[in-house]
Structure formats: structure tokens, C-alpha cells
Amino acid sequence: MRLGRLSKVTLGAITGLVLALIYVPLLVVLVNSFSTSKNLVWPPPGFTLEWWGKAFRNAGALEALWTSVLVALSSTIIALVLGTLISIALQRYQFFGRDTVSLLVILPIALPGIVTGIALNNAFRTILDLKLTILTVIIAHATFCIVTVFNNVLARLRRMGTNFEEASSDLGAGLWTTFRLVTFPQLRSALFAGGLLAFALSFDEIVVTTFTIGGGVETLPIWILNNLFRPNQAPVVSVIAVVLVVVSVIPIYIAQRIAGSEQTRR
């Protein structure tokens, strides 16, 4: 198939147009963060830096940000360990029930968030009689984050093959030494990519979180939800959104660099 110039230009134009449309709402948020109007009136009646100052002095938002980072980091670490274990098991071994196990891993993300949310809420509150805390949120998030690590590591293991590992054990390395010196270095960038996705997934999660978080604790999305419709807070929310998008460029760029330097070009 050789694409003509016209088809290439058309495809490029569609891509450009859709990307532009994707960014329009984000630009609206950016502009709103400077707008003097609290009700998102378009075009903005005037511009101010008031909201940016307020956002950085907003104790509730900063605390929620810290909670979110803590939750996302903890659930990412749990997901990294469990996801790596399960992907090695599924990729390197044949066993009865293998398909069921792989279905089990993707189930928490394939079932709607509301199902995961109410199932865990019910299990924690009604069955186990636990109080909902930040810990229950971490457990819930880790459960659906396993799949992102799993996918990345599984794909890497498939591509790696077993030659190096076999060579290592032929040369006398024990299982742990082989993993530490041979398998892990090859998995590192896949773990980074999977971990990054897990972090992002947890950081922005709201549906499952509303069902598993206790009173008095707020993750950033919960704080945003609670403040979105308060007229004095809406512009502050816009500021925080802008900051998050801008900051997100760094990890995505690093992940891309790692993936790009390893990938053999097509």
C-alpha cells in the first residue's frame, strides 16, 4: 500500500484538527485560570493573577495534593511488585487456569469503576466492618493499577526471550542473581512506563475513590469535585488543572525518551 500525497495530507489534516479540538477545552481552562469572571463566561471580561496566588496558598488543595501523591505512590509500588510477579508467572510458565488468571488481572479495569467501587465499599464496610481510610483507597487503587504494570512487563518479557536468562543460569547464577543482574535491567524501562501509567491512573481516579475514601480525607480529584461548583473556588481549580498538565510533560517526556532509545525503528 503506497499512500498518495493527497491521502497523507488528508490524514495529517484530520490528526491536526482532532488534536486541536482535544486541546481547546484545556485552553479554555488555561484562559479561565486568568479570567476575572468566576462563572466561566466567554470571552473573559478581564484578566487577573488573583487565582494563581490563591491556589498556591490554598491549604486544602495542597493537603489533597499530598494525599494524592501518597496514594498514587503507594498503590504504584504495590502494583509494580504484584504486576511483575504475575507477568513473569504468565509469560514463562504454562499451567492450568492461565487464561483465568490473566482475565482476573484485567477484570478490575475492564469492569466499570462503579462496580469496583461499590464491591470494595460493600466488602470493607458491610463484610469486614472496617472504617474507610486512606488505606482502603490505596488497596482499591493498587488493585486496578496492577494491569498497567502487567501489560508493560508482559510485552517486554515476550520480546526479551529467555536466552540471556538461560545463559546466566548455565554460568552458575542462582535464580535471584539472574533476576537481579539479567532480567531486571532489561525490564527496567517497562517497569518505569507501567509504573508511570499506574501513577497517573491512581492520581486522577475519582469513581472508585468516592466509594472507598473515608470522611475527612480528600485526594486531589475529590477536593476538585467538592470545590468545582463553589463560585469562589472554580478559578482556583482551573489553576491547579493547568499546573498538573504542565508538570505532566516531564514524566511523559522521560518515558518517551526511554522507550524511543530502546525501540528499534520500524
Compute the residue count for the chain.
266
Residues 190-219 binding other proteins (CB under 8 A) are 200, 203-204, 206-207, 210-211
**Rounded Cα gap, residues 55 and 240, in angstroms:** 7
Q: Which of 94, 111, 97 is nearest to 147 (CA)?
A: 111
Residues 130-159 binding other proteins (CB under 8 A) are 139, 142-143, 146-147, 151
Name the residue with cell 509494580. Answer: 80
Least distance from other proteins to the Cβ atom of residue 153, Å: 12
Q: At what angle do helices 98-110 and 134-160 cross, to 10 degrees?
A: 130
Q: Does 122 bind other proteins (CB under 8 A)?
A: yes
Helix or strand or coil: residue 160?
A: helix
Q: Does 167 bind other proteins (CB under 8 A)?
A: no
Task: Select 70 or 119, whichever has its Cβ closest to other proteins.
Answer: 119
CA 195-24-5 angle, to 5 degrees, is: 90
Contact 128, 119 (CB under 8 A): no
Residues 226-265 binding other proteins (CB under 8 A) are 228, 234, 237-238, 240-241, 244-245, 247-249, 252-253, 256, 260, 265
- Would you give the binding string for other proteins spanning residues 85-114, x where CB under 8 A is met? xx-xx---x-x-----xxxxxxxxxxxxxx
Task: Select 58 or 151, whichever has its Cβ closest to other proteins.
Answer: 151
- Interface with other proteins (CB under 8 A), residue total 100
